[in-house]
Amino acid sequence: MLKHESIETNSGLLIVLTLVAIGIGGLVEIVPLHYIDSTIEDVKDPQTGVEMVRPYSPLELRGRDIYIREGCYTCHSQMIRPFRDEDLRYGHYSLAAESKYDHPFQWGSKRTGPDLARVGGKYSNAWHTQHLTAPRSVVPESIMPNYPWLMQTELDYSDVGARMAALKKVGVPYTLTKDEYAGWTDEKGQKHPGTVERFGEKVANTLDINRAEDNLLAQAKAGNYDGDPSSISEMDALVAYLQVLGTMVDFSKFDEDYFIQFR
Amino acid sequence: MATPVKDPLTGAETTGHVWDETLQEFNNPLPRWWLWTFYATIIFALVYWFTYPSWPIGSTYTKGFSSITYKTDAGETKTTHWNMRALLAQDMQTGEQALKQKAYLEKVSAASYEQIAQDPDMSAFVRSYGNGIFGDKCAACHQAGGQGVAGLFPTLVDDDWLWGGNVEQIHQTIVGGRNGYMPAFNTTLNPEQVDEVANYVLSLSGIEHNADAAAKGQKIFNGYAGGCYQCHTTAGKGLTSQGSANLTDKIWTVADTTAEETPAERLKLVKNVITNGIQRQMPVFGAKLSETEIKVLVAYLKQMSTTQQQ
């Protein structure tokens, strides 16, 4: 029988048993998250069966990196909670599925500025460019810092493929091989759907790591997010990212009731 | 367990633990209030476990005995275990605030815009409810009072509407958004021609200009070279179907000539717009606001522009 006194007088044993006690608390909270999948919404287009939540395009991904680099998450959350006031101000509450490709997720816990989970499409590209460069020129009461260098700094996209490959390792369905793109059947006859089947061909093409740079350039040129077509700036990437936030799920295609069953 | 003993000096009980031959500690029990609070939290936790979703079991979890009844979009009444999403649905349907607003929203939804404007009760509701929507969705660009930002975002408080100011047109602008586009003329016109057209544009609203250049500019404006008339019309009054500006009303939404003091600077501003063109975008709000909310917003905007003019 282990005596109270013998634990108190043996610091090595005390450390081990303390870790075990804390470990139980941690495991009870963390382990279930790995096998309770019923809380992650299955968000497929009811007509086409295509998955609505997709990984970020190369340009959006670089924009997200800049979002993290500039520390936007320290003042802006990306998590609309299921409360009446938040629903009225920001829109539909965030789904678990909407951040399943975010590594790390940007939920945040501090709102010095407004929540950005559904900022996509709410303002024009021109507004975002103006606002990020000089926030007080459009929102007089804002306390957000100026980010004038975004417009002046050319976007470094040389390593975008490597960044996508890294995310692929943690489960984001970016593709490298033809099988991953078009789907394959393993030796047991089990079918694995490719990105074309899951997201549709147009999106699947943007998830191809081999074409990452071309895709990034094409999106930046077509979008001209910062209003300056002469170069691709960090502003282009960041605005492209902001404009996609919260826009992937088309809530008009679902009965509100559908999302309640996942809780 | 060490046997508790009494300390001979104070008479108080010690824990019985002895270190370094004589070192002992008093047995100071926890205060009763603290201990009972602690027991209460344990009881609270037990009640919570049975009431709300809590423990993971396999691939599912205990749902708790508490339940919530709400209506689906299809109108079906459903009862489910307690959870925040169902609670929100219930709150949005039958919550105290929701019921208060519901009566007004239904009234506004059924009324015509004239009826809303004439009914002081509905007008007051539109002013307060519309202000909330405007503050969050519109004010970032058009500013809190609707005055806009000169050169960037149009003002909403005058009677000049690029895309038309009747309720159907404003409604369409909010639901579908707008793409304001004017091509850049830097490759079509040479600098001299740009100068002439700019002088003509200034002359349309009676601003100081070079009359000779303006006369030449008029020909370019209404001719094949410039073709400006195709959107702005030969009279320069613009077309709401194109969102092309009325150039004769002294209201400047892009080139803010009123902010410039010298004729040369005003001319430069106008030349800039002709040279570089315009690309402006009003976002789509059809998916972000309900039909009734848009109606309230349109009524609010009409209220805002008419109040300012009085």
pLDDT tens track for A79-95: 999 999 999 999 999 99
Judge if A123 and A221 occupy the same domain.
Answer: yes
pLDDT tens track for B6-20: 877 888 888 887 888
Residues 67 to 86 of B: which have CB under 8 A from any A CB?
A: 70, 72-74, 76, 78, 80, 83-86
**Would residue A178 count as lying in a domain?**
no
| Domain CATH number, residue A65 | 1.10.760.10
Domain of residue A92, residue span: 58-159+190-260
Of B155 and B305, which is predicted with more confidence? B155
Judge if B172 and B304 occupy the same domain.
Answer: yes
Judge if A24 and A144 occupy the same domain.
Answer: no
Residue B158 binned pLDDT confidence (cut-offs 50, 70, 90): confident
Number of domains in chain A: 2
What percent of chain B has a predicted confidence (pLDDT) above 70?
A: 97
Judge if A132 and A235 occupy the same domain.
Answer: yes
Phi/psi region, residue B237 (left: phi>0; alpha: psi -120 to 50; beta: rest), is alpha
Give which of A136, A90, A138 is closest to A116, Cα–Cα. Answer: A90
Judge if B237 and B111 occupy the same domain.
Answer: no
Report yes or no: B143 and B149 within 8 Å, Cβ to Cβ: yes
Instruction: Name the CA radius of gyration of chain B, rounded.
Output: 35
Q: Do A130 and B56 touch (CB under 8 A)?
A: no
pLDDT value of position A105: 93
Q: How much is the average pLDDT of B293-307? A: 89
| Domain CATH number, residue B200 | 1.10.760.10
Judge if B53 and B21 occupy the same domain.
Answer: yes
Q: Collect all residues with Cβ–Cβ distance below 8 Å to B216 and sequence separation of at least 6.
A: B196, B200
**Would residue B69 count as lying in a domain?**
no
Judge if B129 and B255 occupy the same domain.
Answer: no
pLDDT value of position B310: 43
pLDDT tens track for A105-155: 999 989 999 999 999 999 999 999 999 999 999 999 999 999 999 999 999
Judge if B161 and B185 occupy the same domain.
Answer: no
**Would residue B89 count as lying in a domain?**
no
Amino acid at B255: A
DSSP secondary structure, A51-72, as one string: BS--PPPHHHHHHHHHHHHTTG
pLDDT value of position B227: 92
pLDDT value of position B285: 94
What's the CA gap between B105 and B92, in Å, rounded?
13
Which residue from B53, B73, B153 is facing A256, i.e. has the nearest CB? B73
Judge if A140 and A14 occupy the same domain.
Answer: no
Judge if B202 and B238 occupy the same domain.
Answer: yes
Domain of residue B248, residue span: 180-282
Per-residue confidence in pLDDT tens, chain A, 263 aa: 567 778 888 999 999 999 999 999 899 888 888 888 788 899 999 999 999 999 999 999 999 999 999 999 999 999 999 999 999 999 999 999 999 999 999 999 899 999 999 999 999 999 999 999 999 999 999 999 999 999 999 999 999 999 999 999 999 999 999 999 999 998 898 999 999 999 999 999 999 999 999 999 999 999 999 988 889 999 999 999 999 999 999 999 999 999 999 88
Judge if A131 and A8 occupy the same domain.
Answer: no
Judge if B184 and B248 occupy the same domain.
Answer: yes
Judge if A115 and A79 occupy the same domain.
Answer: yes
Q: Do A82 and B141 touch (CB under 8 A)?
A: no
Q: Do A255 and B283 touch (CB under 8 A)?
A: no
Report yes or no: B261 at the A interface, CB cutoff 8 Å. no
Give which of B73, B69, B102 is closest to B86, Cα–Cα. Answer: B69
**Would residue B254 count as lying in a domain?**
yes
Judge if B194 and B114 occupy the same domain.
Answer: no
Q: Count chain A–chain B contacts defined by CB atoms under 8 A.
A: 99
Q: Do B73 and A126 touch (CB under 8 A)?
A: no
Q: How much is the average pLDDT of B120-124? A: 94
Judge if B161 and B231 occupy the same domain.
Answer: no
- Model's pTM, two decimal places? 0.88
- Averaged confidence pLDDT in chain B: 90
Residue B84 binned pLDDT confidence (cut-offs 50, 70, 90): very high
Please list every residue in chain A whose beta carbon sits closer than 8 Å to the beta carbon of residue B278.
none
What's the CA gap between A213 and A159, in Å, rounded?
9
Judge if B299 and B275 occupy the same domain.
Answer: no
Quick check: B307 pLDDT over 70? no
**Would residue B85 count as lying in a domain?**
no
Evaluate whether ipTM surpasses 0.90.
no
Taking every pair of C-alpha atoms in chain A, what is the biggest distance, in angstroms?
78
**Would residue A172 count as lying in a domain?**
no
C-beta atoms surrounding A148 within 10 Å: 12
pLDDT value of position A245: 97
Residues 175 to 214 of B: which have CB under 8 A from any A CB?
A: none
Judge if A17 and A89 occupy the same domain.
Answer: no
pLDDT value of position B253: 84
**Would residue A231 count as lying in a domain?**
yes
Judge if B193 and B277 occupy the same domain.
Answer: yes
Residue B72 binned pLDDT confidence (cut-offs 50, 70, 90): very high
Report yes or no: A78 at the B interface, CB cutoff 8 Å. no
Judge if A14 and A138 occupy the same domain.
Answer: no
pLDDT value of position B2: 61
Quick check: B308 pLDDT over 80? no
Judge if B173 and B290 occupy the same domain.
Answer: yes
